[in-house]
Structure 1
C-alpha cells in the first residue's frame, strides 16, 4: 500500500485511523490471542472477536487445558466483555473433523506422524475463518501466534518470532503469500511470554495467569493411540515386531501404539543392543525396529510445498537454506533441490535421526529470520 502522507500508516499498516480499521481477532481463549484483542481494542481499532468451536466439548476427546475447549470459549467471551467489543462463536465442528481429525487418523494408520495443528491453521483458521473475516468486511485478521510479518521489497514476508523459545514458524509454514497479505501477528516481536503476560495484567484480563495449552486440542494427555481407537476401532490390530531382515522379535497390539524413533516400551527385552522403531508398516501390521544409526538420514523427500521466496523455487537448481524437520529441533543447514513447483529433495548437511513421513520440513534463510515456506515429508 503506498504511503498516504495525509493519513500515516496505523500500527496494522493501513492509511487510516484505527477507528476506521476493522480487525477480526481469532480468539482461542488463551492469554496470547486475548492480549492481541485487548491491545487492539485499547488502541481504538474496530475489533471483532471470533472463536471457533472445533469439536464436541462433551465428547471424550475434549479435555481441560486444550485450546478451543468449552472453558476457552467462555474465557474468550469474557475478555470481549471486559474490553467492550463484539464476540462470536462459530461452529466449525464438521469442517474440523473432515479437514483435520480424519486425516490425522488416516495418516497415523498409514505409518506417518501427522502434525494436525499445521493442517488446522492451513485448512480452517487461515482458510475458512479468514474468509469469514472478509465477509465481515474486516481489513485484516489478527492472531496470537508468535511469528512476524515484515514488509520487504517483494511484499509481505514471514519471519521467525523474536523469542526463539516461543517461535511458531514450524506450524505456520503453509501460510500462503495471499493469506500473509491479510494476516497480522502483533505478538511476534515481543521478547518473551512474560512480556505477553505483563500486557494481560496491564489490561486487567481474567486470563492473565491462565496456563498455556500443551497438547493437540483433541488428543487427551498426548495419548494418540486412544484417539485413533475411538476414531478407527479397527486400527488396534495386533501384529509382529520385526528387525530389518524380517525376523520376528515379538508381538504388538497395534501400530498406532508406536512412533518412529521410539525405544522404550517395545516389549522385546533381552537383546544385546538397544533397538528403535525405524518404520511402521500399517498394511502388514508390522513394527520394524533396528539400531539407532538406521534412524539417521540425509535425504528428505518433500511435497505439497508452499514457497515464500521472492523468486520462484524452480528458478534455481539448488537453494542453500536451513531446515527444521521436527518442531522441537533447531534449523540445520541443507540444500533444497526442486523437482517441480511443489516437490523437492532436501539434502541435509549432517544426518538427522527420526525424520518421519507426515512431519513438516520448514525452510529458512540461513542469514536472516525469514521463512521461505516448507512442505510435507513423505516416504519417497
Structure 2
C-alpha cells in the first residue's frame, strides 16, 4: 500500500511548542497490522475465500501477477494481532471444485470453465480469482497438477485424479523434509516419536549382566608412582535393594536416517491433510498410501512405530509392577517397626513394675486430690521487705 505524507507544516504550527500539540488518540476500532509481500502489483487485493479444508470464508491476499514459486519466509506470533501473508498453493482451492462427490473414476472430462459455471453457489471473491485473466495461466497449471487432461481442439479438458494429488502432496512433503522441519516440530514429532523407552529389569538380571561384563573386563593396573589407577575398563556396580528394578536403556540404538526421513515426510503429510483437505479425501489419501501401488513405501516406518508402541507398553507395565512391589515392601517394614517398638515398650513397663516395692505401689493408690506437693514445703523463703 502506498504511504501517504502530510503537507509541510505552516509557520503558525512551527511556533507552537511541542508540549501544547494535541496527543494522538487511539481509534475506537483499532485496525489490524498486515505484513504483506513487497513485490506485488497494484491489482493485489485482500479477498475472502472458502477455506480448502472447512469451506468457511477466510481472509487471503491475492496477487494475480505474483509467482507462487518465489521463496518466502514466515514466522508465528503468540497472539493474532500481527497477520503475516504467506504463499498458499491455488491447487488446494481447486480440489473442492474439481473433485467429484461420487467415487473416483466416474467423473467425466470437462473444460475448466464448464466446471466453474456448474457451481452457482461460488463466493464472489472466489469467482473473481477463477476468472482473472492475468492469473489464468497459473490456475490452469495447478489444475493440470491434480487432474488427468485430454486435448479437445484448442482447449484442455480436466478430470480430477487422486493419484496425481497424492504425488503432488508427496513432492511437497519431501521438499519440507529435505529443507528441515522447524526445531519444535523436529523435537516433538520426530525425535520424541522415535525415541526408545527405558526398560526396567530386576536386580538379579542386572547382576548377571554386570557379572558377564566383569568377566570380559581387563584387570585394573596401578601406576607405581601413584595411588590411583592409571586405566580401567571395569564397569562400577551400583548397589540396590533386593527385588527392586534398575532402568536399563534399550539396545536399539539410534534410528536410521531412512526411518527419520519417512517420519518427517509423514509429519508433513499429516499437516497438509489436516489443514487443506476435506476429511473424506484425507481418508482416501491414507488408503492410497497403504496400498501396494503407493509411490512411497511407509511400511518400515509403520513397523518401527508398532515396535516402539510395544516397548513403551512393556516399560509401563514393568514400572507398575516395580512400584507396587516397592510400595508393599515399605508398608510391611513400617508395620514390623511399629510392632517391635510396642513390644519393647511393654517389656520396659513390666520390668519397671517388677522393680517397684510394695510401699511405692501402695502410695500410688492413695488419693492425693487437694493435697499439697512435698516440694511446696521446701521452697525458697520469701524476701522480707525493708522498712
Q: Which of the five TM-score ranges fits, normalised by the shorter chain? A: under 0.3
Higher share of residues assigned strand:
1
Larger Rg computed on CA atoms: 2
- The alignment's TM-score, normalised by the length of structure 1, stands at 0.21
